[in-house]
Amino acid sequence: MSQTRIESMMDEKRLFEPPAEGRETAWVKSMEEYEALYKRSMEDNEGFWAERAGTLIDWFTPFTKVLEADMDTPSIKWFQDGTLNVAYNCVDRHIANGRRNKAAIIWQGEPDEDVKVYTYQMLYDQVCRFANVLKAQGVGKGDRVALYMPMIPELAVAMLACVRIGAVHSIVFAGFSAVSLQNRVQDCEAKVLVTADAVLRAGRTIPLKKNADEALRECPSVTRVVVVNRANANVDWVEGRDLWWHEQMKAPGISGHCPCEPMEAEAPLFILYTSGSTGKPKGVVHTTGGYLTYTAHTTQWVFDLKDSDVYWCTADVGWITGHSYIVYGPLALGGTTLMFEGVPSYPGPDRFWQVVEKFRVNIFYTAPTVIRSLMREGSEWTRKHDLSSLRLLGSVGEPINPEAWMWYHEHIGGSALPIVDTWWQTETGGIMISALPFATPLKPGSATRPLPGVDARIVRPDGTDAQPNEGGHLIIRKPWPGMLRGVFGDPARYKSTYFERFPGAYEAGDGARVDSDGYFWIMGRLDDVINVSGHRMGTAEIESALVSHPSVAEAAVVGMPHAIKGEAIYAYVTLSADVEETEELRAELRTWVRKEIGPIASPEVLQFADGLPKTRSGKIMRRILRKIAGGSTSDFGDTSTLADPGVIADLIEGRVDLT
Ligand code: WT7
C-alpha cells in the first residue's frame, strides 16, 4: 500500500463510540464484556472454545478432547473425538428447530426479476437430491468435487451436498481461466466437476462450460461433469461424461432424502486454492468441526446475527469470504443469507442500495474497493434508496482507508451504524481481528482488536515482541479452531510457509502495528503477494504466465498504488532478442495473462524494459521496481549492490503513466 495512505492512518485520531441502539440485545454488549471474554479465552483457551463448540454446533458424538496441538510440527487437532456433519448443522437441525419455513437463502440474480427463495425445508430437499446425484456418480467420503460455478443457488446446494456425504469440495472462482481451473483440478484430483453453461455479468453472457471443457482435456481424474443451465447458452456436450443438473435432480431413484455421513471433527471439509509467493497456488485445507465452530462463532459475534436479520455478504462464494460468510457461518446459525449474482455497477451504480432496499437488508458486508468505486460515482446514488433497514456494516479484504471508511459511515451508515473492519485470510478460515459492533469504539482504518480466543501479536524479524506503534510481522501464537490444517499434498510447504519463521506461532505474512490502545493497524503483505481489489495475487504466478509467452525473456511484477483497487499490477517485461516492442505485443501479453490466470491477473501497466535492476548475484531488486511503479524518481536507498546502476534511469524514462 502507498506511503501516503499508511501515513494518513498513522495520524488517524478519530474515535467512534458504538451506537447505544442495539446494544441491549447484542451478543456482546460492552467493552468490559469483551475484555472479560478475551481474558478468559487466553487463560482458559480450551474451556472457551469447548463452550463455543458445544453451544453453537450439534455433535453426533460429543467430543471429550478439546485440543491437541503442536505449532512446530505442525499438528493441530480440535475436538478430535467428536463427530458431526456440516450439512446437518446448516440445514437439517433448523427444520427440526422451528425454522422450517424460514428463508435460508434469498437469491437475487443479475436480472432484477430473477429471484429465488429457498426455505430451510426447500434447501434440505435440494441438498439431499444433489447428494444422491453425487453418490449415484460414485462420489463418496473423502473424494474431491470441483465446483466452477457462477453465483447461483446451485453452488450453495452443491457445497452442502458434498459435505453431507463427506466429499471434499474445491471451489474455483468462475473468473479464473481454463488453465487455472486445470491446475487446481489436477492438483486435488477431483472426480466430478460441477459447472454451468455460462455466467451472466453486467448484461453479458460469458461462456463457462467452454473453459471447463478446455481445462478437462488434461484432467484424467474427472469422470463426470454436471452442468447447470443458467443462461440457455449453447454448449458442447461430451456424451457419457456430461450430465444436466436439472435432469439428474429429477432422475428416477434420486430421492429428496439422504442420510448425513457422520464425520470426524478433523476430516477435511474443503480445499480452497490461494496465491502464495511462489508460482503454484496452495490448496488450503479446512476441516469439519473446527471450521464450522469458528465460522458460526464469528458470524454470531462479529455480525451480531439474529433470527430476524436479512444478512448480505457481497463476496463471491469462490473466495473464502463467500465460503465462510455467505454459506457456512450464516446457515450454521439458521440465518437468512442473501446471495447476489450481479455486480455493483450494473445496471447502475445504485444496484447494491436498490437490493438493500428491496429485501430490507439489515447487515451488509463488502470490500473497500467496492466502497471506493461507488464513492467515486457520487453520494446521490445512495440517496435514491431507503437504507434505513441497515443496522451493521462490514468491510474485508484489504485495509480500508479512512476516506472510504468515512464515506461508508456517512452515506451508507447514516453516521450511526457500526462498521466492522474484519482482518483475516483464506488460511484463518474466519475473522480474526475485528471490532464487536456494539462494544468496540472504532478508529477509521483500524481492524481494532483481536477477537476473543485469538492470540495475535506483532513481532520483530528476530521474533521478539514489537513495542506499541512499532511495525512488525503479524503472528498468531495460540491455535484457533478455524485455522488451516494443511496445504493439499504438500506438508513441507504447509510448515515452511506458516510455521517455520517464528517457531511456535502461525505467520500471517502481513505487516502491522498495534497502537497504545491495543488497536491493530494492518499495513499490507510483507511477501511477494499483492492485493488487487481485495484479491490475493502472487507476483510469481503472473511472472511465470508472462515468461511462458515466446516473446518474453524475463518479467518482474510488483504492486502499484491504485485509487480504486488498492493495488494494481505493474509488470516489467524484457523481450527476447529481435522481438520488437509494439503496442500490439503489449496488448497481446495482457490478453495472454488473462488467458493463463484470469481477468483479475491482467496487468494494469506493462512496461517494456531493456534490463531489470539486479544485484551482482542476479537477484532482482523489487524494492526499486516498486518505487518506480509508484512514481518515484529518486530515493532508491542503497543501490551499491546493483550490477548495472544505469538501469534505474532507463526504467524511470520508460515508466508508463496511468492516465
Ligand atoms: C489478505 C488475505 C479474508 C478474506 C478476504 C481476503 C488482506 C484481508 C483485511 C483487512 C487489512 C486485510 C491481508 C491478508 N486483508 N482483510 N480487514 N484489513 N488487510 O482473503 O485472499 O486470503 O487475503 O488480505 O493482507 O493477508 P485472502
Verify whether ligand 1 is closer than 6 Å to residue 522 (CB atom): yes
How confident is the model at residue 3, as a pLDDT?
42
* 7 part of a folded domain: no
> Is 289 within 8 Å of 266 (Cβ atoms)?
yes
Residue 457 marked ligand-binding: no
Partnered with residue 266 across adjacent β-strands are none
Predicted TM-score (pTM) of this structure? 0.95
Q: Is 341 in the pocket of ligand 1 (CB under 6 A)?
A: no
Positive/negative CA dihedral, 20, 24, 29, 30: positive
pLDDT of amino acid 4: 45
Is the distance from the beta carbon of residue 366 to the nearest atom of ligand 1 less than 6 Å?
no
For residue 598, the SS3 value is coil
Residues 201 and 324 in one domain: yes
Hunting for cell 452443491 — which residue is that?
A: 158
Look at the block and give the residue holding cell 498504488: 561
Specify the pLDDT at position 1. 38
- The rounded Å distance from CA 425 to ligand 1 centre is 5
Pocket of ligand 1 contains residue 473 by CB under 6 Å: no
Residue 138 · residue 163 · CB < 8 Å: no
Boundary residue ending a domain (513, 542, 577): 513
| Separation between Cα atoms, residue 353 and residue 340, nearest integer Å | 12
- Residue 358: burial class (beta carbons within 10 Å; 0-12, 13-18, 19+): middle
Residue 11: inside a domain:
no
Name the nearest CA neighbour of 149 among 65, 241, 245, 234: 245
Residue 108 Cβ < 6 Å to ligand 1: no
Task: State the CATH number of the domain containing residue 613.
Answer: 3.30.300.30
Enumerate residue ranges in the chain where pLDDT < 70: 1-11, 658-659
C-beta of 398 in contact with ligand 1 (< 6 A): yes
* Claim to verify: residue 650 and residue 503 sit in the same structural domain: no
In a domain, 521, yes or no: no
Residue 202 in marked binding region: yes
**Residue 423 in marked binding region:** yes
Ligand 1, atom 7, residue with closest C-alpha: 398
> Domain for residue 520, yes or no?
no
DSSP code for 186: H
Does any ligand 1 atom lie closer than 6 A to the CB of residue 397?
yes
What is the domain extent for residue 641?
Answer: 533-654
Which DSSP letter does residue 399 get? P
Q: Residue 475 pairs with which residues in a beta bridge?
A: 457, 507
* Residue 526 covered by a domain: no
* Pocket lining: 399 vs ligand 1, CB cutoff 6 Å: yes
Q: Are residues 53 and 159 in the same domain?
A: yes
- The tens digit of pLDDT for each residue in 278-322 reads 778 999 999 999 999 999 999 999 999 999 999 999 999 999 999
Say yes or no: 537 and 508 in one domain.
no
Q: Are 569 and 542 in contact (CB under 8 A)?
A: yes
Residue 510 beta carbon below 6 angstroms from any ligand 1 atom: yes
By C-alpha distance, which of 335, 319, 334, 531 is closest to 426? 319
* 9 within a domain of the structure (yes/no): no
| Ligand 1 atom nearest residue 508's Cα | 26
Q: Does residue 369 belong to any structural domain of this protein?
A: yes
Asked whether residue 498 falls in the same domain as residue 608, the answer is: no
The answer to whether residues 605 and 629 touch, using CB atoms and an 8 Å cutoff, is yes
**Residues in contact with 606: Cβ distance below 8 Å, sequence separation at least 6, in sequence order:** 571, 573, 586, 589, 590, 656
Distance CA 262, CA 464 (A): 44
Query: Alpha helix locations (H) across 137-175?
Result: 153-164
- The number of the ligand 1 atom at minimal distance from the alpha carbon of 422 is 17
| CA distances (Å), origin 509, targets 327, 506, 523 | 26, 9, 11
Q: Is 284 close to ligand 1, i.e. is its CB under 6 Å away?
A: no
Q: Say what the pLDDT of residue 12 is.
A: 74
152 inside domain: yes
| 295 among annotated binding-site residues | no
Q: How far is the CA of 431 from the centre of ligand 1 (A)?
A: 10
Phi, psi of 58 (to 5 degrees): -95, 120
User: Is residue 549 a known part of a binding site?
Assistant: yes
Verify that 129 and 35 share a domain, yes or no. Answer: yes
Query: Are 132 and 240 members of one domain?
Result: yes
- In the reported structure, the alpha carbon of residue 415 is separated from the centroid of ligand 1 by a whole-number distance in angstroms of 25
Contact between 441 and 414 (Cβ < 8 Å): no
C-alpha grid cell for residue 453? 480466543
581 C-alpha vs ligand 1 centroid, how far in Å?
36
What letter does residue 426 receive in the DSSP assignment? Answer: G
CA of 333 to the centre of ligand 1 (A): 24
438 and 325, same domain (yes or no): yes
C-beta of 369 in contact with ligand 1 (< 6 A): no
Task: For residue 297, say whether it is annotated as part of any ligand binding site.
Answer: no
* Among protein residues, the one whose CA lies closest to atom 19 of ligand 1: 398
In terms of domains, do 134 and 188 share one? yes
Strands ordered across the beta sheet of 103-108: 115-119, 103-108, 336-340, 310-313, 363-366, 392-396, 419-422
Residue 320 beta carbon below 6 angstroms from any ligand 1 atom: yes
Whether 426 has a binding-site annotation, put simply, is yes
Cα dihedral 602, 606, 611, 612 in deg (nearest 10): -60
With a 6 Å cutoff on the Cβ, whether 531 touches ligand 1 is yes
What's the CA-to-centroid distance between 494 and ligand 1, angstroms? Answer: 19
Residue 203, marked binder: yes
- CB of 94 within 6 A of ligand 1: the answer is no
Question: Which of 513, 545, 570 delimits the end of a domain?
Answer: 513
Residue 600 DSSP class: G
How does DSSP classify residue 599? G
Distance between CA atoms of 221 and 139, rounded to whole angstroms?
A: 12
C-alpha to C-alpha distance for 99 and 91, rounded to whole angstroms: 10
At 411, which CATH number?
A: 3.40.50.12780
Identify the domain boundary among 451, 480, 513: 513
539 and 572 in a single domain? The answer is yes
Give the three-state DSSP class for 105.
strand
Residue nearest to atom 8 of ligand 1 (CA): 397
Q: Do residues 483 and 557 both lie within one domain?
A: no
Give the count of domains, the chain: 2
Q: Are residues 539 and 479 in the same domain?
A: no
